Chain A
Amino acid sequence: MTRLIIAVAGFALLAAAQLLGENPGYQQDPNWRAPSEAAARPNPLASKPQAAAGGRKLFIRNCVECHGSDGAGIEEKHAADLQLPMVQSQSDGTFFWKITNGNSRRGMPSFSKLPELQRWQIVLYIRTLIHNPETK
């Protein structure tokens, strides 16, 4: 009986936590802005485009879950379309800051657990995502 109560309590806990974890409809968060100093940081791997291959691997492992394999964003997840010009026009430093800090209000986790260079590799790969209207 005790085991049954524990199982039911655990299940109810996970279900309740999921409801609280729901992400509202995606829209640009006007308050999610990198400080000017962070936005101005250059990508230390900019002269090493070959590092984008590692960035692709990291993107698949960490970002595809919400942004999709082409970066167009999964609607159900309300995730940003990384191909959009309004997104691509942001600086490398801004991408790095956003990957590092996340945005808890929109369900974007912080990826500060990844080493700095790996976060810059992801930025490098995001730059290769090109908008293709035929695939949309």
Chain B
Amino acid sequence: MQLSCKYVARALWSSVFAISAVSASFAQESPFFVTYTHHMEEPGNLDVEISSTSGVPRSGQKSYFAPYLELEYGATAQWTTELYLEGQSTWADSTVFTGWRWENRYKVLRREHWINPVLYLEYEQLNEASRIQKEIEGEGPDVSSPNALLTPLHAHELEAKLILSSDYHDWNISENFIATKNFSESEGVEFGYAIGVSRPLATLASGENCRFCRENFIVGAELYGGLGSTLGFGSHDAAQYFAPVLSWSASDNGTLRFSPGFALNKQDSPVLIRFGYTYEIQNFGSNLSKLFRKKP
């Protein structure tokens, strides 16, 4: 299914403007793009996030830009659910819609512990042209073949993660263990991992409403990659990245994130550039339910 860039951009922006007619609140988002922490979305709030992954090519590869829209909703204090719509545009090739994902995270323990486990389950209906690389499992995506060959190859996948996350003296340390089963092909169960560490630049809030105060910045780093599959376990044939991360609470409702990821081997693009903007909408759930109340 090939769509024009103009259509994809119009659809994404229409969604954002339609939903942002509701009030917004302060957003203090995790700086990570791949690693998940145990911090859940606040109940009733909706995060609208537009992000992208761009791949700098090796010789013989083409550069690509893979944007995605993410709607993250806090169903309860322990359950967060998300819907993704993603696309991809490859230089001198084409722009394609690459599929959707529905993800759910459940925080197992009610209280804070030294290690906080979160269970993650995601259904993905994608095609092989997907390049957002929200996670890397198996050997990573095919970034060399043309879209015309990749888009007809559909992948119905079920992905599970065990998220272990700890807050220690204002540092967050998180580890994710990933297992994915593609029901469209017999490629076994694929594995991956992500590890992240982050910390705010300042831990005391100033009394002023400042945008460039250190308290509005969080820095950290991620390490993520594939671990092969049940047909061949190991990290040597899979893409591996090290990525510094930075987030900035640019406004009361918006957070900007940036991360350059550097490949640790030659399996994929040498550099991944990631950008993200998150807009948090407060009380989205209750405002939505009001629309369906009886008229007085």
Residues of A within 8 A of B (CB): 6, 10, 13-15, 17-21, 23, 50-51, 53-58, 61-62, 65, 76, 100-105, 107-110, 112-118, 121
Within 8 A of A (CB), among B149-169: 167, 169
Whether a CB of chain A sits under 8 angstroms from the CB of B124 is no
Additional A-B contacts beyond A14-B73, A20-B76, A62-B25 (10; CB < 8 A) = A10-B71, A10-B83, A17-B81, A18-B288, A20-B79, A51-B204, A61-B25, A107-B76, A113-B30, A114-B28
Shortest beta-carbon distance from B286 to chain A in Å? 7
Cross-chain contact A65 with B25 (CB below 8 angstroms): yes
Shortest beta-carbon distance from A26 to chain B in Å? 14
Within 8 A of A (CB), among B20-79: 25-26, 28, 30, 37, 39-40, 42-44, 46, 71, 73-79
Which residues does chain A contribute within 8 Å of B167, judged by CB atoms? Answer: 112-113
Determine the main DSSP class of B at the interface with A.
loop
Whether a CB of chain A sits under 8 angstroms from the CB of B285 is yes
Shortest beta-carbon distance from A22 to chain B in Å? 8
Q: How many residues of B contact A (CB 8 A)?
A: 49
Shortest beta-carbon distance from B105 to chain A in Å? 12
Which residues does chain A contribute within 8 Å of B30, judged by CB atoms? Answer: 113
| A-B CB proximity, top 4 nearest | A53-B207, A61-B26, A54-B205, A17-B75
Which residues does chain A contribute within 8 Å of B107, judged by CB atoms? Answer: 104
Cross-chain contact B74 with A21 (CB below 8 angstroms): yes
Bound Cα distance from A20 to B110, whole angstroms: 17
Which residues does chain B contribute within 8 Å of A14, judged by CB atoms? Answer: 46, 71, 73, 285, 288
Cross-chain contact A13 with B102 (CB below 8 angstroms): yes
Which residues does chain A contribute within 8 Å of B46, judged by CB atoms? Answer: 14
Shortest beta-carbon distance from A127 to chain B in Å? 16
Cross-chain contact B28 with A113 (CB below 8 angstroms): yes
Q: Produce 1/0 per residue, B110-134, CB < 8 A to A.
A: 1110000000000000000000000
Which residues does chain A contribute within 8 Å of B112, judged by CB atoms? Answer: 100-101, 110, 112
Q: Which residue of B lies closest to A107 (CB)?
A: B43
Whether a CB of chain A sits under 8 angstroms from the CB of B93 is no
Cross-chain contact A109 with B25 (CB below 8 angstroms): no
Given A56-B207, A107-B76, also A76-B43 (CB < 8 A) = no
Cross-chain contact A18 with B44 (CB below 8 angstroms): yes
Shortest beta-carbon distance from A134 to chain B in Å? 27
Cross-chain contact B75 with A117 (CB below 8 angstroms): no
Shortest beta-carbon distance from B173 to chain A in Å? 13
Select the residue from A18, A102, A105 with max chain B CB neighbours within 10 A. A18
Shortest beta-carbon distance from A2 to chain B in Å? 9
